[in-house]
Amino acid sequence: MKPNRTWVYAPHPSILDKRWRVITNEEDVERKRELFKESSSAYLEKEKSPLPGKDVYEYSGAFVDETGDSPSPVRVGFRSFDRQWIIPDRRLLHRESPTLWAARQPGQVYVIEQNAHEISSGPGVVFTHLIPDMHHFNNRGGRALPMLHPDGTYNQAPGFARSWAEAVLERDVKVTGEELVAYLAGVVSHPGYTGRFADELTTPGIRVPLTLDRNLWEKSVEIGREVIWQASSRERHLGAGRA
């Protein structure tokens, strides 16, 4: 998502409450515009339907007429390893990315890549269990890919996991979507990946090498689960063995 205004983010809910009250209590409309930081798709007179979800602000009238209390904030992934709070009010967001909001659910993991600019160091992808800001990866844009669709099904190409399991890993058990994301974390989310594939990464976008070795697959999945557990502040673990 891309709010296009930083005041909707804060490290503590009390800060957002104070900002909300300052803006909504301002009686001078022009001063209110300055405080709001209007953009082409989010301005005082703009009406918007609520964001998807149960913990969002549901009033959809123009913000210029807003008199209610500050909505309860929700946690978001502002940047890699930087969790913040946001006011979940669609009227405040320039590009709200409703599909990402709709995909929020228990067990969700967002895969974040830098697909707009070349990367030459650090991890190839990062992970968060929180809905991410557009600049989450390295403050230069990027793309967020949820592991789960809003309906809870895995976000993967039909038949891919089954074909890989049968043709490469030679196992009868279906490879799960969680295993695929954990494998991705184990293989791509470290500086060794960007160092090894530096030439290929001059063209933005991540390409994932697929192993033909079952032992390497299993080890990569094991490491990747730990990566995601740590990246999500120990709130997501794609497998058994963690509380």
HSE toward the beta carbon, residue 122, CA cutoff 13 A: 9
Asked if residue 182 and residue 224 are part of one domain, the reply reads yes
pTM of the model: 0.91
Asked if residue 115 and residue 78 are part of one domain, the reply reads no
Asked if residue 122 and residue 53 are part of one domain, the reply reads no
Rg (Cα) of the chain, in Å, rounded?
20
Give yes or no for residue 243 having a pLDDT over 60. no
Query: What is the number of structural domains in the chain?
Result: 2
As a whole number of angstroms, the distance between CA 231 and CA 160 comes to 26
Mean pLDDT of 62-67: 96
Among 188, 220, 190, 229, which Cα is nearest to 206's?
188
Write the pLDDT tens digit of every residue in 27-47. Answer: 999 999 999 999 999 999 999
Environment class of 64 (CB within 10 Å of its CB; exposed 0-12, middle 13-18, buried 19+): middle
Among 162, 163, 157, 127, which Cα is nearest to 145's?
127
Mean pLDDT of 98-113: 96
Write the pLDDT tens digit of every residue in 147-167. Answer: 999 999 999 988 888 887 776
Give domain status of residue 241, yes or no: no
- Which pLDDT belongs to residue 165? 79
Cα-based angle 2, 191, 230 (whole degrees, multiple of 5): 65
Asked if residue 191 and residue 124 are part of one domain, the reply reads yes
Give domain status of residue 15, yes or no: yes
Asked if residue 69 and residue 44 are part of one domain, the reply reads yes
* Contact partners, residue 224, CB within 8 Å, separation at least 6: 181, 182, 183, 184, 185, 186, 187, 189, 238
Give domain status of residue 1, yes or no: no
Asked if residue 109 and residue 80 are part of one domain, the reply reads no
Model confidence at 242, in pLDDT bands (50, 70, 90)? low
Domain boundary among the residues 71, 92, 113 is at 92
Give domain status of residue 180, yes or no: yes
- Which pLDDT belongs to residue 172? 64
Determine how many CB atoms are found less than 10 A away from the CB of residue 56.
Answer: 17
Asked if residue 114 and residue 21 are part of one domain, the reply reads no
Domain boundary among the residues 48, 70, 92 is at 92
Give domain status of residue 242, yes or no: no
Domain that holds residue 223: 103-231
Give domain status of residue 188, yes or no: yes
Asked if residue 215 and residue 127 are part of one domain, the reply reads yes
Asked if residue 188 and residue 118 are part of one domain, the reply reads yes
As a whole number of angstroms, the distance between CA 141 and CA 136 comes to 7
Domain boundary among the residues 31, 65, 92 is at 92
- Residues 92, 43 contacting (CB under 8 angstroms): no
